[in-house]
Chain A
Protein backbone atom coordinates (compact mmCIF):
# COMPACT_ATOMS: atom_id res chain seq x y z
CA UNK A 1 0.00 0.00 0.00
CA UNK A 2 1.07 3.61 -0.43
CA UNK A 3 3.08 4.97 2.50
CA UNK A 4 1.25 7.58 4.42
CA UNK A 5 2.42 9.63 7.30
CA UNK A 6 1.37 12.60 9.20
CA UNK A 7 3.68 15.45 8.70
CA UNK A 8 6.79 14.84 10.76
CA UNK A 9 6.30 18.24 12.35
CA UNK A 10 3.79 16.80 14.70
CA UNK A 11 6.18 14.22 15.94
CA UNK A 12 8.87 16.86 16.34
CA UNK A 13 6.57 18.95 18.43
CA UNK A 14 5.59 16.02 20.52
CA UNK A 15 9.18 15.11 21.00
CA UNK A 16 10.06 18.64 21.96
CA UNK A 17 7.25 18.83 24.44
CA UNK A 18 8.21 15.62 26.13
CA UNK A 19 11.82 16.66 26.13
CA UNK A 20 11.05 19.97 27.77
CA UNK A 21 8.90 18.36 30.38
CA UNK A 22 11.62 15.91 31.09
CA UNK A 23 14.20 18.68 31.47
CA UNK A 24 11.92 20.51 33.83
CA UNK A 25 11.50 17.40 35.86
CA UNK A 26 15.23 16.83 36.08
CA UNK A 27 16.00 20.37 37.09
CA UNK A 28 13.13 20.97 39.41
CA UNK A 29 12.35 17.93 41.50
CA UNK A 30 14.11 17.12 44.68
CA UNK A 31 13.42 13.44 44.70
CA UNK A 32 16.16 11.59 42.83
CA UNK A 33 13.89 8.77 41.69
CA UNK A 34 11.70 11.25 39.94
CA UNK A 35 14.81 12.76 38.44
CA UNK A 36 15.71 9.37 37.04
CA UNK A 37 12.23 8.92 35.69
CA UNK A 38 12.44 12.30 34.05
CA UNK A 39 15.65 11.20 32.39
CA UNK A 40 13.77 8.20 31.02
CA UNK A 41 11.19 10.60 29.71
CA UNK A 42 13.86 12.56 27.88
CA UNK A 43 15.18 9.40 26.33
CA UNK A 44 11.75 8.55 25.20
CA UNK A 45 11.27 11.87 23.56
CA UNK A 46 14.45 11.26 21.60
CA UNK A 47 13.18 7.85 20.60
CA UNK A 48 9.98 9.31 19.18
CA UNK A 49 12.04 11.68 17.12
CA UNK A 50 14.26 8.95 15.80
CA UNK A 51 11.42 6.68 14.89
CA UNK A 52 9.53 9.49 13.20
CA UNK A 53 12.40 10.28 10.95
CA UNK A 54 13.13 6.64 10.40
CA UNK A 55 9.59 6.33 9.02
CA UNK A 56 10.08 9.42 6.91
CA UNK A 57 13.21 8.21 5.26
CA UNK A 58 11.98 4.69 5.05
CA UNK A 59 15.14 3.68 6.78
CA UNK A 60 15.28 1.15 9.56
CA UNK A 61 18.47 2.53 11.04
CA UNK A 62 16.54 4.93 13.13
CA UNK A 63 14.66 2.20 14.81
CA UNK A 64 17.83 0.25 15.41
CA UNK A 65 19.27 3.27 17.05
CA UNK A 66 16.16 3.57 19.14
CA UNK A 67 16.63 -0.03 20.26
CA UNK A 68 20.10 0.75 21.37
CA UNK A 69 18.84 3.75 23.29
CA UNK A 70 16.32 1.63 25.08
CA UNK A 71 19.02 -0.86 25.93
CA UNK A 72 21.16 1.86 27.27
CA UNK A 73 18.31 3.29 29.26
CA UNK A 74 17.78 -0.02 30.88
CA UNK A 75 21.39 -0.36 31.91
CA UNK A 76 21.46 3.11 33.15
CA UNK A 77 18.28 2.76 35.15
CA UNK A 78 19.59 -0.37 36.77
CA UNK A 79 22.85 1.16 37.80
CA UNK A 80 21.28 4.39 38.83
CA UNK A 81 18.75 2.73 41.03
CA UNK A 82 21.49 0.66 42.56
CA UNK A 83 23.34 3.83 43.44
CA UNK A 84 20.23 5.38 44.86
CA UNK A 85 19.68 2.39 47.04
CA UNK A 86 23.21 2.45 48.29
CA UNK A 87 23.00 6.12 49.03
CA UNK A 88 19.65 5.70 50.70
CA UNK A 89 21.06 3.04 52.94
CA UNK A 90 23.84 5.40 54.01
CA UNK A 91 22.17 8.74 54.29
CA UNK A 92 18.53 7.89 54.68
CA UNK A 93 17.61 10.57 52.17
CA UNK A 94 16.21 10.66 48.68
CA UNK A 95 16.52 14.41 48.21
CA UNK A 96 19.01 15.73 45.73
CA UNK A 97 19.82 18.88 47.75
CA UNK A 98 20.93 16.74 50.62
CA UNK A 99 23.29 14.79 48.44
CA UNK A 100 25.96 17.48 48.43
CA UNK A 101 28.97 15.53 49.53
CA UNK A 102 30.92 16.84 46.59
CA UNK A 103 30.63 20.34 47.94
CA UNK A 104 34.02 21.33 49.34
Chain B
Protein backbone atom coordinates (compact mmCIF):
# COMPACT_ATOMS: atom_id res chain seq x y z
CA UNK B 1 0.00 0.00 0.00
CA UNK B 2 2.69 2.26 0.96
CA UNK B 3 4.74 1.34 -2.09
CA UNK B 4 1.78 1.98 -4.36
CA UNK B 5 1.35 5.39 -2.93
CA UNK B 6 4.99 6.14 -3.29
CA UNK B 7 4.94 4.84 -6.80
CA UNK B 8 1.91 6.86 -7.80
CA UNK B 9 3.38 9.93 -6.29
CA UNK B 10 6.61 9.67 -8.17
CA UNK B 11 4.94 8.48 -11.32
CA UNK B 12 2.50 11.31 -11.43
CA UNK B 13 5.19 13.74 -10.61
CA UNK B 14 7.30 12.41 -13.44
CA UNK B 15 4.55 12.44 -16.00
CA UNK B 16 3.26 15.84 -15.03
CA UNK B 17 6.69 17.30 -15.08
CA UNK B 18 7.36 15.74 -18.44
CA UNK B 19 4.25 17.20 -19.91
CA UNK B 20 5.07 20.56 -18.46
CA UNK B 21 8.54 20.39 -19.78
CA UNK B 22 7.41 19.69 -23.30
CA UNK B 23 4.88 22.47 -23.39
CA UNK B 24 6.63 25.42 -21.87
CA UNK B 25 7.45 28.54 -23.78
CA UNK B 26 10.28 29.51 -21.59
CA UNK B 27 13.24 27.22 -21.98
CA UNK B 28 14.37 27.74 -18.41
CA UNK B 29 11.03 26.60 -17.19
CA UNK B 30 11.35 23.52 -19.35
CA UNK B 31 14.75 22.86 -17.87
CA UNK B 32 13.44 23.12 -14.37
CA UNK B 33 10.62 20.81 -15.14
CA UNK B 34 13.04 18.35 -16.59
CA UNK B 35 14.95 18.51 -13.36
CA UNK B 36 11.86 17.62 -11.43
CA UNK B 37 11.16 14.80 -13.82
CA UNK B 38 14.62 13.45 -13.28
CA UNK B 39 14.20 13.72 -9.57
CA UNK B 40 10.98 11.84 -9.74
CA UNK B 41 12.68 9.20 -11.80
CA UNK B 42 15.35 8.98 -9.16
CA UNK B 43 12.61 8.38 -6.63
CA UNK B 44 11.35 5.53 -8.74
CA UNK B 45 14.77 4.08 -8.80
CA UNK B 46 14.92 4.25 -5.09
CA UNK B 47 11.64 2.48 -4.78
CA UNK B 48 13.08 -0.23 -6.94
CA UNK B 49 15.89 -0.83 -4.55
CA UNK B 50 18.44 0.70 -6.93
CA UNK B 51 20.23 2.91 -4.49
CA UNK B 52 23.38 3.41 -6.52
CA UNK B 53 21.42 4.41 -9.50
CA UNK B 54 19.31 6.78 -7.47
CA UNK B 55 22.41 8.62 -6.39
CA UNK B 56 24.05 8.46 -9.79
CA UNK B 57 20.89 9.86 -11.33
CA UNK B 58 20.87 12.82 -9.07
CA UNK B 59 24.55 13.56 -9.18
CA UNK B 60 25.10 12.89 -12.86
CA UNK B 61 21.89 13.67 -14.53
CA UNK B 62 20.58 16.49 -12.51
CA UNK B 63 23.79 17.85 -11.19
CA UNK B 64 25.81 17.41 -14.34
CA UNK B 65 23.70 17.29 -17.42
CA UNK B 66 20.98 19.63 -16.36
CA UNK B 67 23.50 22.16 -15.12
CA UNK B 68 25.14 21.95 -18.49
CA UNK B 69 21.80 22.54 -20.09
CA UNK B 70 21.13 25.55 -17.95
CA UNK B 71 24.56 26.96 -18.75
CA UNK B 72 23.89 26.71 -22.44
CA UNK B 73 20.43 28.12 -22.08
CA UNK B 74 21.94 31.11 -20.40
CA UNK B 75 24.34 31.53 -23.31
CA UNK B 76 21.66 31.79 -25.91
CA UNK B 77 19.19 34.53 -26.52
CA UNK B 78 16.12 33.90 -24.49
CA UNK B 79 14.05 36.96 -25.14
CA UNK B 80 13.68 36.47 -28.82
CA UNK B 81 12.63 32.88 -28.58
CA UNK B 82 9.91 33.74 -26.10
CA UNK B 83 7.95 35.52 -28.79
CA UNK B 84 8.20 32.90 -31.44
CA UNK B 85 5.86 30.10 -32.33
CA UNK B 86 6.74 27.15 -30.24
CA UNK B 87 5.28 24.26 -32.08
CA UNK B 88 6.29 23.38 -35.60
CA UNK B 89 4.19 22.73 -38.66
CA UNK B 90 4.07 18.97 -38.27
CA UNK B 91 2.66 19.04 -34.75
CA UNK B 92 -0.64 17.43 -35.50
CA UNK B 93 0.69 14.64 -37.61
CA UNK B 94 3.57 14.07 -35.25
CA UNK B 95 1.33 14.12 -32.24
CA UNK B 96 -0.98 11.67 -33.78
CA UNK B 97 1.76 9.35 -34.82
CA UNK B 98 3.36 9.44 -31.41
CA UNK B 99 0.08 8.61 -29.79
CA UNK B 100 -0.39 5.81 -32.24
CA UNK B 101 2.98 4.48 -31.30
CA UNK B 102 2.14 4.66 -27.66
CA UNK B 103 -1.20 3.15 -28.20
CA UNK B 104 0.29 0.32 -30.18
CA UNK B 105 2.65 -0.64 -27.44
CA UNK B 106 -0.07 -0.22 -24.88
CA UNK B 107 -2.29 -2.59 -26.74
CA UNK B 108 0.54 -5.01 -27.03
CA UNK B 109 0.92 -4.86 -23.30
CA UNK B 110 -2.76 -5.53 -22.69
CA UNK B 111 -2.98 -8.31 -25.16
CA UNK B 112 0.16 -9.96 -24.00
CA UNK B 113 -0.74 -9.86 -20.35
CA UNK B 114 -0.89 -13.25 -18.85
CA UNK B 115 0.63 -14.97 -21.84
CA UNK B 116 3.90 -15.67 -20.28
CA UNK B 117 3.97 -17.14 -16.82
CA UNK B 118 4.35 -14.62 -14.13
CA UNK B 119 7.94 -14.49 -13.20
CA UNK B 120 8.93 -15.33 -9.71
CA UNK B 121 10.25 -12.37 -7.93
CA UNK B 122 13.84 -12.98 -7.04
CA UNK B 123 15.67 -11.44 -4.30
CA UNK B 124 18.37 -9.00 -4.95
CA UNK B 125 21.57 -8.46 -3.07
CA UNK B 126 20.96 -6.04 -0.31
CA UNK B 127 24.32 -4.45 -0.95
CA UNK B 128 23.35 -2.81 -4.15
CA UNK B 129 26.30 -0.55 -4.66
CA UNK B 130 28.75 -3.36 -4.12
CA UNK B 131 26.89 -5.51 -6.51
CA UNK B 132 26.92 -2.87 -9.17
CA UNK B 133 30.54 -2.14 -8.69
CA UNK B 134 31.28 -5.80 -8.73
CA UNK B 135 29.51 -6.31 -12.03
CA UNK B 136 30.93 -3.17 -13.47
CA UNK B 137 34.56 -4.03 -12.91
CA UNK B 138 34.42 -7.68 -13.66
CA UNK B 139 31.89 -8.53 -16.30
CA UNK B 140 31.56 -5.17 -17.82
CA UNK B 141 35.16 -4.08 -17.73
CA UNK B 142 35.47 -3.52 -21.41
CA UNK B 143 32.31 -1.44 -21.77
CA UNK B 144 33.48 0.54 -18.77
CA UNK B 145 36.74 1.40 -20.40
CA UNK B 146 35.07 2.19 -23.63
CA UNK B 147 32.63 4.38 -21.83
CA UNK B 148 35.46 6.30 -20.31
CA UNK B 149 37.03 6.77 -23.70
CA UNK B 150 33.69 7.85 -24.95
CA UNK B 151 33.51 10.43 -22.25
CA UNK B 152 36.97 11.61 -23.12
CA UNK B 153 36.07 11.99 -26.72
CA UNK B 154 32.88 13.74 -25.86
CA UNK B 155 34.74 16.10 -23.65
CA UNK B 156 37.22 16.94 -26.34
CA UNK B 157 34.46 17.29 -28.85
CA UNK B 158 32.43 19.56 -26.68
CA UNK B 159 35.38 21.74 -26.00
CA UNK B 160 36.26 21.95 -29.65
CA UNK B 161 32.70 22.71 -30.69
CA UNK B 162 32.04 25.33 -28.13
CA UNK B 163 35.34 27.01 -28.37
CA UNK B 164 35.38 30.42 -29.85
CA UNK B 165 37.38 30.60 -32.98
CA UNK B 166 40.03 33.04 -32.30
Known pairs A55-B124, A60-B135; A14 contacts B65 (CB<8 A)? no
Chain A residues whose C-beta falls within 8 Å of the C-beta of B87 in the assembled complex: 28-30
Tally the A-B contacts, defined by beta carbons under 8 Å.
Answer: 243
B102 touches A20 (CB 8 A): yes
Known pairs A30-B84, A71-B147; A16 contacts B105 (CB<8 A)? yes
B44 touches A48 (CB 8 A): yes
Known pairs A75-B154, A77-B69; A60 contacts B131 (CB<8 A)? yes
Residue with the highest number of chain A CB atoms closer than 10 Å, among B24, B37, B97, B160: B37
Q: Tell me the count of chain A residues lying within 8 A, CB to CB, of chain B.
A: 74
**CA A72 – CA B148 in complex, angstroms?**
10
Within 8 A of B (CB), among A65-104: 66-68, 70-79, 81-86, 88-89, 92, 94-97
B95 touches A66 (CB 8 A): no
Known pairs A29-B22, A82-B158; A63 contacts B52 (CB<8 A)? yes
Within 8 A of B (CB), among A37-74: 37-38, 40-41, 44, 47-48, 51-52, 54-61, 63-64, 66-68, 70-74
